[in-house]
């Protein structure tokens, strides 16, 4: 997901930048953690930095990474996954084969776990990784970090890669932390910390949440149910 896309989900973080910005050192750190393809060692996922202008760029210089006081870099996250339906079918096939070989009506729990592990590893070795591309901006004046995309696994991998690369862990800028960074007075921050969650629905007079089945109101208790039939008026008496 790109910052230049028509629509994009932006996650905000905060990370304290170093007091002295050495652009060459930043570029060298990014290059050390540049994205590398998954190999045949059975790894399920891989992540790393890429050029924000070209995900296939082999070298990243300071001119490729810095735009005024922003560090602009791409983040690539590849992951192998097995479709759940395929995994279930292959597990069932192998369990049937093992059951016939052993002459038992049903495999035990340990044998089924062994089958699941074997099938999963075999399918993962044949599965192609699915690449996902994200954009990352780090404002080196305010410490704000912006990441496109909201996938949980990619977000966690990004935070760990950011920490290993720059030596500081980005903290998610949830609304509470955002208010703390908004320049509020100490009194306003103390008031904010004292806020407690409340319901906007409102509760009955007794303060208890109603549960079904609700009690029949006294005004209608004991009354017969209304007749669905409409009353029929008496036919007029005709006289000649």
Residue among 81, 76, 77 at smallest CA distance from 125: 81
The answer to whether the beta carbons of residues 73 and 65 sit under 8 Å apart is yes
Q: What distance, in Å, lies between the first and last C-alpha atoms of the chain?
A: 89
14-53 residue pLDDT tens: 999 988 889 999 999 999 999 988 776 667 889 999 999 8
Range with the poorest average pLDDT among 50-59, 163-172, 178-187, 197-206: 197-206
Structure tokens given for 149: 């995309």
Between the alpha carbon of residue 87 and those of residues 1, 95, 153, 191, 240, the distances in Å are: 29, 12, 21, 53, 89
Q: Is there a cis peptide before residue 213, judged by omega within 30 degrees of 0?
A: yes
pLDDT at position 69, please? Answer: 92
Q: What is the pLDDT of residue 177?
A: 75
Q: Which two tokens stand for residue 11?
A: 């996650």
pTM assigned to the model: 0.68
What is the tens place of the pLDDT at every residue in 213-233?
A: 545 555 544 555 555 555 545
User: What six digits make up the tokens of 59?
Assistant: 């070298």
Q: What is the mean pLDDT of residues 64-73?
A: 93
């Amino acid at each position: 997901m790109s910052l230049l896309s028509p629509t994009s989900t932006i996650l905000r973080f905060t990370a304290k930048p170093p007091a002295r910005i050495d652009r060459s050192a930043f570029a060298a750190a990014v290059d050390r953690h540049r994205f590398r393809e998954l190999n045949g060692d059975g790894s399920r996922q891989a992540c790393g930095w890429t050029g924000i202008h070209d995900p296939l760029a082999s070298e990243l210089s300071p001119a490729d990474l810095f735009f005024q006081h922003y560090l602009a870099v791409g983040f690539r996250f590849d992951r192998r996954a097995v479709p759940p339906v395929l995994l279930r079918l292959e597990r069932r096939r192998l369990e049937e084969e093992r059951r016939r070989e052993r002459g038992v009506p049903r495999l035990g729990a340990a044998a089924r776990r062994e089958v699941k592990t074997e099938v999963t590893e075999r399918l993962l070795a044949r599965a192609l990784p699915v690449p996902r591309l994200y954009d990352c901006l780090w404002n080196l004046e305010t410490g704000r970090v912006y990441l496109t995309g909201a996938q949980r696994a990619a977000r966690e991998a990004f935070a760990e890669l950011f920490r290993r690369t720059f030596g500081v862990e980005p903290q998610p800028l949830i609304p509470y932390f955002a208010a703390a960074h908004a320049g509020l007075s100490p009194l306003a921050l103390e008031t904010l910390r004292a806020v407690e969650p409340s319901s906007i629905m409102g509760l009955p007079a007794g303060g208890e949440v109603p549960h079904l089945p609700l009690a029949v109101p006294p005004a209608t208790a004991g009354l017969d149910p209304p007749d669905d039939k409409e009353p029929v008026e008496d036919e007029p008496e005709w006289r000649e």
